[in-house]
Amino acid sequence: MLRRTAVAAVLGLGLAWSAGVMAQETLKIGVILPYSGPFADAANQLQAGIDLYLAEHGNEVAGRTIELIKRDTGGPAPDVARRLAQELVVRDNVDIIAGFALTPEALGAAEIATEAKKLMVVMNAATSVVTEQSPYIVRTGVTIPQLNYSFGSWAYEQGIREAYTLVADYGPGIDAEASFAKGFTEAGGKIVGADRTPVANPDFSAYVQRVADAAPEAVYIFVPGGAQPAAIGKALADRGLSPPDIKVLAQGELTHPEALESMGETARGIITTFHYTLERDDEMNQAYVEAYTAANNGREPDLFSIGGYDGMHLIFEALEATEGDSSGDALIEAAKGMVWDSPRGPISIDPETRDVVQTVYIREVQEVDGKMQNVILEEIPDVKDPLHGAAK
């Protein structure tokens, strides 16, 4: 009750300000990310996507000068994200809150967006329920079920009938496991075993041995980035569980460029699903990859950076549509149904769920010009999150 009262009091002070915004006033965007802590790399890549968009398009839109106010959660820290969102609204008078690499932090800030009637742009946090927590939330990243439900169905269509799931034991991993299994079993497949590993796990040998003992046609894997993809790739290879002896299926983190460098030959034949692949042969994507790499000391873009880049696009386009009106009600209405071409491909915002609709890519690691890289096998267009009642 005290929290709601505090927010309501602040809102009363800010109503006159927000209602009478003049076009020349600075437009403030509060960016909430875990710039420090275990997810700092994700935050920094997302911020790099934001920065690239501003570098390419300038910091003015609809007569308003953009000012970013960055706040670090050190997360995952939902309570900190909530407090920072409230401070940004109360003390800094931000017009928009954005960022949110992690689901717990997006959920933590959602109530503030509702109470303050501020547009909240979720640039990554990938759990389905995020957009349902506030009518002012719109997402420009991805949802895990969006990728993996489609992937499970696709796996069955390729003739795979039995699969074993091995995922990291935390929210995203559990979502990935459930959505892949749902798509696979609804199509007619059978899950013959399921296991979960610690989130920070250096040794996968015992888990991979259980996969070997089950002798499935395929294993589906979800692990965070960093050192884990190479570690699990080695464990699979050590037990003869590399393609073509077994189908290795995974969400795209397993074959990030940095992971491929570490995994080497053991990555050959791994099949992954993702919403962004930097190898996409498209003029817009090629320009994006080139610009991002040049601006980030040779680092190539990833799922976090594209969410930040497209999040800024949505903000700019919404402000153009409202002619600079930064009220949450005006901006969220402008965002609903928005359609644009992104480096990742065609993208839109579902007007009913305010969630991202996009192409899902199925990729296989192949050798191209002497280097292992992801090669697109199939593109599944216009995919919605299945937990929002969408069809494939």
Q: Burial of 216 by CB count in 10 Å (0-12 exposed, 13-18 middle, 19+ buried)? A: buried
b/e 22-43 (16+ beta carbons within 10 angstroms → b): eeeeebbbbbbbbbeeebbbbb
70-98: pLDDT as tens digits: 999 998 899 999 999 999 999 999 999 99
Longest dimension (CA), the chain: 68
d(CA 32, CA 264): 36
116-158: pLDDT as tens digits: 999 999 999 998 899 999 999 999 999 999 999 999 999 999 9
Residue 159, helix vs strand vs coil: coil
**Does residue 345 register a pLDDT over 70?**
yes
**Does residue 226 register a pLDDT over 80?**
no
286-301: pLDDT as tens digits: 999 999 999 999 999 9
Angle of helix 171-187 versus helix 144-157 axis, rounded to 10: 30
Residue 324, helix vs strand vs coil: coil
Percent of the chain residues topping a pLDDT of 90? 77
| pLDDT at residue number 12 | 45
Confidence of residue 264 (pLDDT cuts 50, 70, 90): confident
Confidence of residue 9 (pLDDT cuts 50, 70, 90): very low
d(CA 357, CA 337): 10
Instruction: Report, as an integer, the average pLDDT of 23-43.
Output: 90
d(CA 235, CA 254): 13
Mean pLDDT for the chain overall: 91
**How many CB atoms are located within 10 Å of the residue 294 CB?**
10
Q: In this predicted structure, which of 253-267, 273-287, 301-315, 364-378 has the lowest mean pLDDT?
A: 253-267
Angle of helix 78-90 versus helix 103-116 axis, rounded to 10: 30
**How many CB atoms are located within 10 Å of the residue 9 CB?**
11
Q: Which domains does the chain have, with CATH numbers?
A: 2-142+284-354 (3.40.50.2300), 145-274+359-386 (3.40.50.2300)
| pLDDT at residue number 24 | 60
